[in-house]
Chain A
């Protein structure tokens, strides 16, 4: 990777599900250590875009480059091994396992030994205030707590790029504040792309925002500029369709 090159870049990325064009020739890039928010109304293509980045869906055409490497056709496990950690929209955890086991599984992939994985997961458990719940079965926890466990699984993997699909959904105000604090900590070591709806939250965490609409990028730029743009308001309020 050359200096100044984007960490992640998509070139004319297109995904078609049957007759539906979910994402349409998206050219997108993020710089190292950037925190970028991706917003857009329902059906704008945000989750499909994430799926193409993580390998859960294969792009119909176009390219995804991570640190200069083409990962368009790579499998999810190989993409994850390059240092891309993902939080999906619905909490995606090992429901039958304990909090400790969940985090251990995430740490184990990158550890030389089981003991090293244990140390890394214990550190993360401490850091995220999960000590008292460490032995609880994740499936029995509340929605917000399960999201928090999933974030812990991302933190322990020490990723280069973090993809978060609605990380604060179903969380209380205090919990959202903790997520914000965690993202600010993560920003020092990783690039983060967040899909969010909560405008207040976006204003607090991000400097740049990308707006998706009908599968393409509508506008991209500094938070204040983008959020005050009339086209963005129209799209969210559904006043008229922007092409």
Chain B
């Protein structure tokens, strides 16, 4: 039996694929897209989560373990967002070069200021994140410090392409700043627009665009809506109506539809992340589409 196992190990080890660029395991599509912007064809990027999956609740599938096993870089949001599954992947993959504390482990939330840090930690408050709201990718301003830090990390891991990474970072930052100025102008009419959301995943977007979040459909973070809470919302919407109900592609449709049917407030399904709608196929497309869709329902 042991001879058999050794033989298999040797056979498999001999058939390893020769690698061209960095192999990157991104927890979320937005970071996969950012690596794409900064490394181009020099990185093979895999996103663990799609826009149709709830990043809080991912099953630690064998296919994901296999991906982490091969990765040179693991890039995730952090701030406890992936705490239900990423530790299992890291533990099972046996890849010591992407463990926390190594150059192969990069958390985007380490490089920006988190909002809504809870004053007290108690699970009775729902699925709260001790470090603050982790949905940092919906404020475009956050991408500049994250991109700079990520680019440095790429250089650290793959020094021979230093010039390429540096040039791509400069190019990205320039295009991003131009785009942000444009989004800022286009989104001016959205300021102070009252909205209702399913989950508190839009804090950074609200903050950036000046949207006023009146209510969440979830009773508490991560706790699905109850009928009592929905009737209370219905009452609230009668007195101070929202202009739109915002929903991410992965979030439950039923409660949102119910509120829409009872209030007539339009539902807007925003891409939430790259790949959430066909137009949101890049980071630029993500924010273009988001603003366009919001202007569409609030005008």
State yes or no: do A and B come from one complex: no
